[in-house]
Structure 1
Amino acid sequence: MYFRRGLWVCCHVVYSIFMAVGNIWTHVNKFVERHIYATTLENEMLYVSKCAEHFNKTPQHIVLLLGNETISYKDLANIILWCVAAGISFVTLYDHDGHLQQNQDELYQAVKTRSKLCVGRIIWGRNKTLNGLGVENGVQNGTKAIAKTRVTVLSLNDSKETFLKVTRSLCYSAKNKEVKSCHISQDVINEMLIEETGLPEPELALYCGEVCCTYGFLPWHIRITEFLRLRSHHNITVREFVRLLQTYGKCEQRFGK
């Protein structure tokens, strides 16, 4: 009994030392990248754009799970603008507590402060515009519009309300004999859920913190999602962001095969 307890304590100490060394290395690496490789936002976006040309694949929908971290609007603004540079069509920021959703204007201002020129390349939320930020893709005045990135902020309430809306809709249709219960399948429900959210299934999710947890993020949306760890979105560097996209590009998805 004492041997097993001693062995457990030794393993715990070794693991704690390993994690501490890893955290120190991460902080040192970030410090070096922020100061030695310091550059302007325009150069960072150009760097991301050039790197994206050589990725094996680029996610069209990326999700950032903030977890229990406090919100850094400046760093979130950087991530959004880097996603724009990488040509990512959908960016979803998920804060299960809803604080970010209640302060979207502050996030918008952070994006606008970082780069006024890129504001027009972003569609904010599920509406066509918010505070004049972005319009739908398409043709304007005979000229093809520049591809835009849709940024959506979600919370735990969105997961619950979406499922409730779909459930009520199916019950109403069945009650009025518009659909037979035998025709209601998982595929039908998935299609309705995706249509209700207005978002495609994400290919990549970045979770912040030590534990890989979805915090209730749209569970029907993550069947084919690749989860990668981001130690923290605070002080994230452009090279760290690019490394995550490179890691995703090398992932082989077998889809259960």
Structure 2
Amino acid sequence: MPHKMMQLLSILIGRLLFMLIAICELLQQLWLRLHALARRSYDYWQCDYHHELFERTMHELQKLPQHLVLVIAPDDRYVDATLLKRIFSYAQIVGIPYLSVYDTRTPKNGYVDLSRFCQSSGNENKCYLWPSQQVKEQKQVQLNGCKTVVSNGTTNGSASNGTKHYAQLQVYQIGTADGHALIADVCRELYENRKTPQVQELLKERQALTEGISARLNKHLGFAVPEPELGIIFSRLTCIYGLLPWHVRFTEFHTHRSGSYFDAKSFAKVLYKYARCEQRWGK
């Protein structure tokens, strides 16, 4: 009898703790949404501040990433097409040429298909150009409610406020099948062709094998870009969810808590943190 009482008491305490955690999580999410609403309202009246922020960022930073990757957690409910468009515009303004989006959600759970608002590059269905042709024709990009003129040329243009732009940002959509599963497919392909002269030549030297595997991975992906130097994870936890494991060996990741408002200031803060990081390469 005492043993059963202890079991019932343990179950009751466990359920009570679970309820308390759920209530705390709900209150925290409500606070984040209220904070996001206040920030969004504030940003609407601070158009000039954003222009000055990016101009100061480009002037002060000595190091900017050439390839930025965005990782979206499976349970994130706040990263939508509107936010991605803003981030694309931020990256274009500061001069980041390559950007990848790794959205681990399902279409029913918020997955954003970039083909809806990006222009296909004409090579592969995973490669896009931002801004799209429609946006270029309008010559305007919406940044937190502030309109900024975008150059319609093929080289770096400049906005009316003096902020330089890349004519088009190269955007890549990475799927869940492009991670560990792709490595397994490439290794299986090499094993099946292990007796061919080409594979036998790769097996003679480790560096040649590494380069051969990387070339095959890029071929399966449909694009070859520099390894991402900076990653932004939209999640409650810091996790890359199997993102291109052969490409992120030296990537600096920053986690932005899901539900928190992400604006130009948030983007600039991540760039400043990245610029302060020093990779000593074992020295």
Q: What TM-score do the two structures reach when normalised by structure 2?
A: 0.63
After superposition, the C-alpha distances for 1:119-152 in whole angstroms (9 at most, x for unaligned) are: 99xx984267997589xxxxxxxx9634432111
Unaligned segments of structure 2, at least 5 residues: 1-19, 136-152, 157-165
Letter in structure 2 aligned against 1:187: T
> Shift of residue 231 of structure 1?
1.5
1:72 and 1:234 in contact (8 A); partners too: no
2:54 and 2:93 in contact (8 A); partners too: yes
Structure 1 counterpart of 2:196, from 152, 173, 176:
176
Q: Which deviates more from structure 2 when the two are superposed, residues 231-240 or residues 247-256? A: 231-240
Which of the two has higher C-alpha Rg?
A: 2
Distance 1:252 1:228 in 2: 15
| Identical-residue share of aligned pairs (%) | 22
> Shift of residue 163 of structure 1?
2.2
Distance 1:209 1:256 in 2: 30
> Shift of residue 194 of structure 1?
6.1
Structure 1 counterpart of 2:114, from 82, 94, 104:
104
> Shift of residue 214 of structure 1?
0.7
Partner of 1:8: none
Distance 1:56 1:170 in 2: 42
Distance 1:133 1:165 in 2: 38
After superposition, the C-alpha distances for 1:20-55 in whole angstroms (9 at most, x for unaligned) are: 88995x667655543334357797456424422211
Letter in structure 2 aligned against 1:48: F
Distance 1:127 1:105 in 2: 7
Tell me: CA distance 1:133–1:204, structure 2 relative to 1, closer, same or farther (3 Å). Answer: farther
Q: Which deviates more from structure 2 when the two are superposed, residues 64-73 or residues 161-170? A: 161-170
Secondary structure of 1:210's aligned partner: coil
Unaligned segments of structure 1, at least 5 residues: 1-12, 110-118, 135-142
1:201 partnered with 2:227: yes
Tell me: CA distance 1:231–1:170, structure 2 relative to 1, closer, same or farther (3 Å). Answer: same
Tell me: CA distance 1:89–1:41, structure 2 relative to 1, closer, same or farther (3 Å). Answer: farther
1:159 and 1:216 in contact (8 A); partners too: yes
Q: Which deviates more from structure 2 when the two are superposed, residues 123-132 or residues 219-228? A: 123-132
Distance 2:52 2:190 in 1: 47
Partner of 2:3: none
Secondary structure of 1:182's aligned partner: coil
Aligned residue pair count: 228
Distance 1:86 1:184 in 2: 38
Partner of 1:215: 241
1:49 and 1:85 in contact (8 A); partners too: no
Residues 57-76 of structure 1 mapped to structure 2, 5 A cutoff: 57-67=63-73, 68-70=75-77, 71-76=79-84
Residues 106-255 of structure 1 mapped to structure 2, 5 A cutoff: 106-108=116-118, 125-126=126-127, 132=133, 145-146=155-156, 147=166, 148-160=168-180, 162-164=182-184, 166-168=186-188, 170-171=190-191, 174-180=194-200, 181-185=203-207, 187-189=210-212, 191-192=214-215, 195-196=218-219, 197=221, 198-232=224-258, 235-255=261-281
Tell me: CA distance 1:35–1:124, structure 2 relative to 1, closer, same or farther (3 Å). Answer: farther
Residues 34-53 of structure 1 mapped to structure 2, 5 A cutoff: 34-39=40-45, 44=50, 47-53=53-59
> Shift of residue 236 of structure 1?
1.1
Letter in structure 2 aligned against 1:153: Q
After superposition, the C-alpha distances for 1:93-119 in whole angstroms (9 at most, x for unaligned) are: 11123537772233439xxxxxxxxx9
Letter in structure 1 aligned against 2:267: F
Partner of 2:14: none
